[in-house]
Amino acid sequence: MPERPVRSGGWDDPEHDAAVRPLTRAEAQAWRARHPQVPAWWVVAAQAAVGVVVAMLAWLISDDRAVWASALYGAAVVVVPGALMARGMSSRLSSVSPAASAVSFMLWEMVKIAVSVLMLALAPKIVQPLSWPALLASLVVCMHVYLLALLWRRPEKKQSGT
Domain boundaries, the chain: 39-152
pLDDT band at 63 (very low <50, low <70, confident <90, very high): confident
pLDDT of amino acid 116: 97
Q: How far apart are CA 129 and CA 107, in angstroms?
A: 34
Q: Return mean pLDDT, the chain.
A: 84
The number of residues in the chain equals: 162
pLDDT of amino acid 99: 85
Residue 68 predicted with pLDDT over 70 = yes
Distances (CA, A) of 111 to 4, 141, 144: 49, 21, 20
ω into residue 129 within 30 of 0, thus cis?
A: yes
pLDDT of amino acid 161: 47
Residue 124 predicted with pLDDT over 70 = yes
Q: How far apart are CA 123 and CA 79, in angstroms?
A: 15
pLDDT of amino acid 108: 92
pLDDT of amino acid 40: 84
Which residues, 6 or more positions from 38, have their beta carbon under 8 angstroms from its beta carbon?
Answer: 149, 150, 152, 153
Q: How far apart are CA 3 and CA 149, in angstroms?
A: 50
Helix, strand or coil, per DSSP, at residue 114: helix
Average pLDDT for residues 73-97, to the nearest whole number?
A: 90
Burial class (CB in 10 A: 0-12, 13-18, 19+), 81: buried
Question: Measuring CA to CA, which residue among 91, 85, 4 is closest to residue 40?
Answer: 85
pLDDT of amino acid 66: 92
Q: How far is CA 17 from the centre of its chain?
A: 32
Please give the biggest Cα pair distance in the chain. 77
Where is pLDDT greater, at 152 or 17? 152
